[in-house]
Amino acid sequence: MHLVSRTDIGNIRLVNEDRAVVRHVPGGWSVAVVADGMGGQQAGDVASQMAVDIIQRELQRLSPELAADDCAEELRRAIEVANENIYEFALGRENYHGMGTTVVSAVANGQTAIIGHIGDSRAYLISDAGMEQLTEDHSLVNELVKNGHITPEEAAHHPRRNVIIRALGTDPTVEVDLRLVPWKAGNLLLLCSDGLHGLVDDDSILEVVRGEPDLDRMALRLIHSALDAGGDDNVTVVLIKNGAEGGDRG
């Protein structure tokens, strides 16, 4: 499993509130987490840093004998622990009230990828068949699209497209969306914040992926695609390739 993580502050923001981590953990599992923080002052980057730290810590004890369904429950529990910790941290500190973060996390071995997410950071599966979005945005505009009030094309330019309706750390409990995905050698998982998918459409993302075999350069090209499209947000990209040679690159 080859893991690559890249982030950029973007062209406009003064602080990078995105955080990401990629790790191989005992038991043959690989873990990746992307979090996009929100909140005033330094609250957003505190929330996102806490999320990636806690989730990767909680997943260190995955065992090789663990079935995929049980691993999914461990991922759910790790995200819930992160939610409790962030919420309690903010509750006791006036400057951090209301802070939160999106999160999208993957736990994968050679046969199965398990995705857990809250918010509008996304996971995609990329294979010979194309690119499939594995997560559903917990956002206002996505609800408007689902209810038929606006079109997907209108959603891309909606003035409230950044409004999140479910986040990590803003409430004492949270519902985690989980998805188990079979995947094959050579398949690729892309995890990203909305700094990428909000500016670069799926066809353009797929064009970069298919045009660049090297994962490090692929991640950088995806970052630069967002910057070239305006770069008005922090942008973070994590790539996980099934069966590739190499180690972690953060």
- CA torsion sign for 133, 24, 209, 200 is positive
pLDDT of residue 246: 42
pLDDT of residue 65: 84
Task: Mean pLDDT check: name the lowest of 14-28, 101-115, 170-184, 204-218.
Answer: 14-28
Domains and CATH numbers, the chain: 2-132+168-249 (3.60.40.10)
Query: Per residue in 113-144, pLDDT tens?
Result: 999 999 999 999 999 999 999 999 998 777 77
pLDDT band at 247 (very low <50, low <70, confident <90, very high): very low
pLDDT of residue 158: 65
Residue 205 backbone dihedrals phi, psi, to 5 degrees:
-60, -45
Q: How far apart are CA 141 and CA 60, in angstroms?
A: 36
pLDDT of residue 104: 98
Name residue, tokens 């065992």: 63
pLDDT of residue 76: 97
pLDDT of residue 154: 64
For the chain, give the number of residues.
250
Q: What angle do CA 244, 245, 247 make, to 5 degrees?
A: 110
pLDDT of residue 189: 98
- Determine if the pTM surpasses 0.75: yes
CA–CA distances in Å: residue 31 to residues 34, 99, 118, 163, 173: 10, 25, 16, 28, 23
Cα–chain center distance at 44: 15
List, in order, residues 6 or more apart from 21 with CB less than 8 Å away: 5, 31, 32, 33, 52, 53, 56, 250
- Greater confidence (169 vs 247) lies with 169
**In the predicted structure, residue 44 carries a pLDDT above the cut 70:** yes
Q: How far apart are CA 133 and CA 131, in angstroms?
A: 7
Residue 223 backbone dihedrals phi, psi, to 5 degrees:
-60, -45
31: exposed, middle or buried (Cβ count in 10 Å: 0-12, 13-18, 19+): buried
**In the predicted structure, residue 249 carries a pLDDT above the cut 60:** no
pLDDT of residue 244: 47
Query: Per residue in 172-206, pLDDT tens?
Result: 999 999 999 999 999 999 999 999 999 999 999 99
